[in-house]
Structure 1
Amino acid sequence: MRLTDHPWPDVEASSTDLALLPVGSTEQHGPHAPLGTDALTAEAVADAGAAATDREVVVAPTIPVGVAEEHRGFAGTLWVSEDTFRRYVREVVESLAHHGFDRVVVVNGHGGNVAALRETCARVTRDGTAYAVAFTWFDGVSSDLPMGHGGARETALLRHVAPDLVREDRVEAARAEGADRWGEWVSGVNLAYDSASFTENGVVGDPGAGTAADGEELLDDAAAALSTLLDSVADRPVGGDE
């Protein structure tokens, strides 16, 4: 059940306490992929996970802006501070819990959100507001496709769920001008704070390496992993691990 598609009496009649909250980012993903990649993929995985489980689950609206200042060198990228992001996510989870949806999986599509989401989910859990965990879809799948940024894994999933938004005529240039790895590493330290300092066009990896068929497999794998996670979350007590 997508919350935004239903009138309030339908939501009130729901008997579930499970909710999915997709969270993404609005940031550059190279010249070939849309700024909304992380939000699009998080939402697609949340919808697929809800369809894959036998449990009733509500899907909240996607949070489209996250912790992404590292991409500020590329036009269109939006970001908020970690404090703002944590507070916003926490208050959305609290509002879900107010209506009885107090077991929440945050479905994340952006690496820059990971640390803040871990802390936020721990806080609302320890406070007894809800039991919440964060599921980052590209970490929850088994795939030979490397992650990168705007690379094989993300582009493959986009080719499956939003093919019209991939600028296929720019993929070769995206590959040629992208970086091989994320950051500039010395003695185990990443010296680069912003992606523009190590990738000319924002890409890390090879966006041409992942096909639409690969993307379909990624979505199926992510949905299965999310369904399994929902089974575990459904059995967790609100109030943490005490």
Structure 2
Amino acid sequence: MHLTDATWTDVRDFDTDLALLPVGSTEQHGPHAPLGTDFLAAEAVAEAGAEASDHDVAVAPTIPVGVAEEHRQFPGTLWVSEETFRSYVRETVGSLASHGFDRIVVVNGHGGNVDALREVCGTIVRHDDAYAVPFTWFEAVGEHATRMGHGGPLETSLLRHVAPERVREDRMKEATEGAAERWGEWVASVNLAYDSAEFAENGVVGDPSDGDAALGEELLDAAAAALARVLDAVDERDVSRPERRT
């Protein structure tokens, strides 16, 4: 059930404690992919995961702005601080829990949100009346995960499958020719760069032409199956807090 499509009486009568909260970002993804790539991906994976699950699941509205200052040099990119992002996620989870949806998987579509989500979900579990875990879709696609760049083959393939009309195919050559090969500038395992504009002229990392809608469908299926397994585990988990060891 999508909360945005439901009435309050629908929610009242929906008997589940499981919810998905998609979170993404509004940021540059090169000249070929929309600023909303990350939240579009999070929404698609959340919907597919809910469909793949054997459980009734509430799907919350997507949080569209995240921790994305690393893309600030590219027009249209929006960002908030980690503190603001964590607070927004925590309070949204709290409102879900107040209606009985107190077992939540936060479905993430943006790499810059990862650390903040792990931290805030830990805070929720330790101190609030809810259990929450983060799930980042591109970490759950098996061997394909190693190809994740930015606006590269994985994200472009997923878009080609779920929202092909949003991909500017006529700009693919421009996107590919201006792309960086990897994220960052590395010396002795240290990334010297903080912003993507330091190493990616057009904001792209990886070859966006190296993937198609068929790969996108495979990625979505893999992420949805993984998310369904996480929902199983969250549903079955004893979420009582461990006692202090003495």
TM-score (norm 1): 0.98
Q: 1:46, CA displacement in angstroms?
A: 0.1
2:163 aligns to what? 162
Q: 1:172, CA displacement in angstroms?
A: 1.4
Superposed counterparts of 1:64-213, under 5 Å: 64-144=64-144, 146-213=147-214
Q: Hey, what's the Cα distance between the residues in 1 that align with 2:133 and 2:171?
A: 37
Is there any run of 5+ residues in structure 2 with no aligned partner, and where? none
Asked whether the equivalents of residues 127 and 239 of structure 1 are also in contact (C-alpha less than 8 Å), the reply is no
Q: Hey, what's the Cα distance between the residues in 2 that align with 1:177 and 1:89?
A: 35
Asked whether the equivalents of residues 102 and 238 of structure 1 are also in contact (C-alpha less than 8 Å), the reply is no
Q: 1:12, CA displacement in angstroms?
A: 0.6
Residue 32 (structure 1) aligned with residue 32 (structure 2): yes
Q: Hey, what's the Cα distance between the residues in 1 that align with 2:242 and 2:160?
A: 40
Aligned pair count reads 242
Q: Hey, what's the Cα distance between the residues in 2 that align with 1:237 and 1:127?
A: 16
Percent identity between the two aligned chains: 70
Alignment RMSD (CA, Å): 1.0
Q: Deviations over 1:106-144 (max 9, x none)?
A: 000000000000001011001142111000000011144
2:220 aligns to what? 219
Is there any run of 5+ residues in structure 1 with no aligned partner, and where? none
Asked whether the equivalents of residues 131 and 237 of structure 1 are also in contact (C-alpha less than 8 Å), the reply is no
Q: Hey, what's the Cα distance between the residues in 2 that align with 1:98 and 1:194?
A: 38
Q: Hey, what's the Cα distance between the residues in 1 that align with 2:102 and 2:220?
A: 26
1:55 aligns to what? 55
Q: 1:240, CA displacement in angstroms?
A: 4.2
Q: Hey, what's the Cα distance between the residues in 2 that align with 1:84 and 1:134?
A: 17
Q: Hey, what's the Cα distance between the residues in 2 that align with 1:29 and 1:130?
A: 34
Asked whether the equivalents of residues 27 and 68 of structure 1 are also in contact (C-alpha less than 8 Å), the reply is yes
Could you say what secondary structure the match of 2:74 adopts? coil
Q: Hey, what's the Cα distance between the residues in 2 that align with 1:126 and 1:179?
A: 40
Q: Hey, what's the Cα distance between the residues in 1 that align with 2:225 and 2:205?
A: 27
Q: Hey, what's the Cα distance between the residues in 2 that align with 1:54 and 1:228?
A: 10
Asked whether the equivalents of residues 184 and 190 of structure 1 are also in contact (C-alpha less than 8 Å), the reply is yes
Q: Hey, what's the Cα distance between the residues in 1 that align with 2:166 and 2:128?
A: 41
Q: Hey, what's the Cα distance between the residues in 2 that align with 1:240 and 1:149?
A: 38
TM-score (norm 2): 0.96
C-alpha spacing 1:41/1:241, structure 2 compared with 1 (3 Å): farther
Q: Hey, what's the Cα distance between the residues in 2 that align with 1:239 and 1:215?
A: 38
Q: Hey, what's the Cα distance between the residues in 1 that align with 2:62 and 2:128?
A: 24
Could you say what secondary structure the match of 1:209 adopts? coil
Q: Hey, what's the Cα distance between the residues in 2 that align with 1:241 and 1:82?
A: 28
Q: Hey, what's the Cα distance between the residues in 2 that align with 1:213 and 1:86?
A: 35
